[in-house]
Amino acid sequence: MSEEHNNQSEDKDKSETQSDSIDFTVVYPLYNEELMEERETYEDLFREVVDTGLCSGEGACVASCPAFVLEFQNKRPVIVDEEGCIKCGICTAVCSRYSVLEAAPRDIDLESIGEYKSLWQAYSLDEEVRSEGQSGGVATALMICAVEEEMVEAALVLQAEGDAMTSKSKIAYTKEEIIKAQKSKYVTFPSLAAVNLVRKNRIESFVYVGTPCQVTGLKYLINQRLDGLYHRARYIIGLFCMESFMPQPLAEIFRERTGGLNYAEASRVDIDKGRLVIHHPGRPEKPYRIRLRHFDKAMRPGCKICTDLTAEDADLSVGNVGAKPKNTVVVVRTHAGEELLNKAIEKGYIAAEPMVDKEFQLVVNLNRMKKKERARSIDKFIQEESE
Ligand SMILES: Cc1cc2nc3c(=O)[nH]c(=O)nc-3n(C[C@H](O)[C@H](O)[C@H](O)COP(=O)(O)OP(=O)(O)OC[C@H]3O[C@@H](n4cnc5c(N)ncnc54)[C@H](O)[C@@H]3O)c2cc1C
Ligand code: SF4
Ligand code: SF4
């Protein structure tokens, strides 16, 4: 029943590339032909964001293109049909990194973790979901609850495909399909490119999970009122995120530090106390624990200007730092987030207890550290650009 989506958009329906057959005012209520000439296009987007290394790689631009002429290839958006571009400028409008450096980065509030209603730590009451989860299995349990309790039709998830380097966005309709996508992938995937899957499969309501940049990208798509997305994306779960990695450099550094092992064969990867913890069949008796600073060169360049640790645009955010073992920290931010958490508790999907300030202090500290470090990178970037 579920439909697969290759992030390279290989399965794109060719009929959809016929831009002249699309009523853009239906796909995009904000579409305005008169404004088209003044709008910036993919060329500006690539010059300002992609070529400069600011791109976070979440894929909002690809999802937004009403002419379907953008795709993701080799971890970056590319134009596949220059003639087909209708110069609507929507790809620049949905890019959270476009003009980001002009948006007063010096005003960053180092103490803020965004608006929220309550703080919890929680775990899945399904033992399998809990033990397979990156933390307490809460992100998975919330999505299972949303689907099984018919709060949404499906979940849009990112599923590893055979190895630790490759993932595909999928629409998951069942508990089993949601469980298959568990565990964190510390490499970047343009999971928003798969929003087209939701449109193609006429999914009326879905729950989404993603990193802060993916969540913000989805919010930008929603704000552009892309094809009724506002009504379909019912619950948005954000993952805390310090950084993510480029697959090739990550694999090279891992190979160097382990005497030739292949990162793609890792069976599980965690981040714990500043170390990447890699379970690998090459050393089954003990996982590799390698300091994160050794992987600095593999960090996605776009992460270096990312100030969001806790997915501030999500309905609820989940993370590991500060939680007891096999628990997940949960930050409830919106009415929708509250509704989903309450339902999951009431129906026995998760157990949750309010989080005390002292425990949450670790999140506040890490958040301050990330914002401070990234504000410095932004300043440096602006300085280099102006030279
Ligand atoms: C790149 C990255 C960096 C992170 N950094 C931190 C950190 O510094 N501090 C911290 O406390 N927590 C961090 N996390 C979050 C943490 O690893 C757990 O995902 C979180 O605690 C939820 O755990 P869980 O057991 O409740 O979720 P699970 O039940 O394990 O479910 C996680 C869900 O997230 C989805 N997912 C995993 N990786 C990705 C991805 N790259 N893009 C989109 N969806 C994905 C999975 O498919 C699954 O559906 C990070 C996560 C990622 C992906
Ligand atoms: S940041 Fe996102 S929207 Fe902007 S160019 Fe990169 S993938 Fe596209
Ligand atoms: S650090 Fe920011 S840009 Fe990088 S993957 Fe995480 S949320 Fe996205």
Q: Which pTM value belongs to this model?
A: 0.90
Q: Would you say residue 158 has pLDDT above 60? A: yes
**Residue 297 to residue 221: CA distance in whole angstroms:** 31
pLDDT score at 183? 72
Residues 194 and 289 in one domain: no
Q: Give the torsion sign (CA, 148, 152, 156, 157).
A: negative
Closest residue by Cα to atom 8, ligand 3, is: 213
Between the CA of 42 and the centroid of ligand 1 the distance, in Å, is: 30
- Listing DSSP states for 192-229 in one string gives GGGHHHHHHTT---EEEEE-HHHHHHHHHHHHTTGGGH
Q: Which atom of ligand 2 is nearest to the CA of 190?
A: 7
Q: Note the pLDDT tens digit of each residue in 74-103.
A: 888 999 999 999 888 889 988 989 877 766
- SS3 state of residue 79: strand
Does one domain contain both 258 and 133?
A: no
Q: Does 181 fall in a domain?
A: yes
Indicate whether 251 and 233 sit together in one domain: no
Beta strand pairing call for 316-319 and 233-239: parallel
4 is a domain residue: no
Residues 119, 86 within the same domain: no
Residue 296: beta bridge partners? Answer: none
CA 170 to CA 271: how far, in whole Å? 25
Which pLDDT value is given to residue 31?
Answer: 60
Residue 2 domain flag? no
Note the pLDDT tens digit of each residue in 215-268: 999 999 888 777 667 789 999 999 999 999 998 899 999 999 999 999 989 988
Structural domain range at position 92 = 13-106
pLDDT at 385 over 50: yes
Give 270's pLDDT tier (boundaries 50, 70, 90). Answer: confident
Do 179 and 264 have their domain in common?
A: no
Q: How confident is the model at residue 27 (pLDDT cuts 50, 70, 90)?
A: low
Give the integer Cα–Cα distance in Å for 15 and 100: 35
Q: Give the CATH number for residue 72.
A: 3.30.70.20
Q: Is the pLDDT of residue 11 over 60?
A: no
| Total number of domains constituting the chain | 3
- Please check whether residues 313 and 291 belong to one and the same domain: no
pLDDT tens-digit series, residues 63-73: 888 888 999 88
Among candidate residues 278, 298, 318, the one where a domain is terminated: 298
Residues 91 and 61 sit within 8 Å (Cβ to Cβ) = yes
Q: Is 93 in the pocket of ligand 1 (CB under 6 A)?
A: no
CATH code assigned at 283: 3.10.450
**Position 287 in a domain:** yes
How many whole angstroms separate alpha carbon 314 and alpha carbon 233? Answer: 11
CA angle 272, 278, 281 (to 5 degrees): 150
- Kindly state whether residue 6 falls inside one of the protein's structural domains: no
Give 205 or 102, the one with higher predicted confidence.
205
> Which of 80, 106, 132 lies at the terminal end of a domain, its last residue?
106
Q: Which residues line ligand 3 (CB under 6 A)?
A: 56, 188, 211-213, 241, 243-244, 300, 302-303, 306, 308
CATH number for 366: 3.40.640
159 and 240 fall within a common domain: yes
Q: Give me the helices (H) in 259-356, please.
A: 335-346
CA of 186 to the centre of ligand 1 (A): 8
Same domain, residue pair 305 and 274:
no
Residues 322 and 224 in one domain: yes
Residue with tokens 């069949």: 281
Q: Is-contact 77 50, C-beta < 8 A?
A: yes
Nearest CA to ligand 1 atom 48: 182
Looking at the structure, do residues 355 and 281 belong to the same domain, yes or no? no
The two structure tokens encoding residue 286: 């003990």
Give the number of whichever ligand sits closest to the CA of residue 303.
Answer: 3
Is residue 129 within 8 A of residue 141, CB to CB? The reply is yes
Å from CA of 196 to ligand 3 middle = 22
Residue 8 falls within a domain, yes or no?
no
Residue 146 within any structural domain of the chain: yes
Domain check: are 152 and 42 in the same one? Answer: no
Tell me the three state secondary structure of residue 366: helix
Final residue of a structural domain among 87, 106, 125: 106
Q: Is 229 in the same domain as 163?
A: yes
Amino acid at residue number 173: Y
- Average pLDDT, rounded, for the chain: 86
Query: Domain for residue 3, yes or no?
Result: no
* 126 alpha carbon, closest ligand: 1
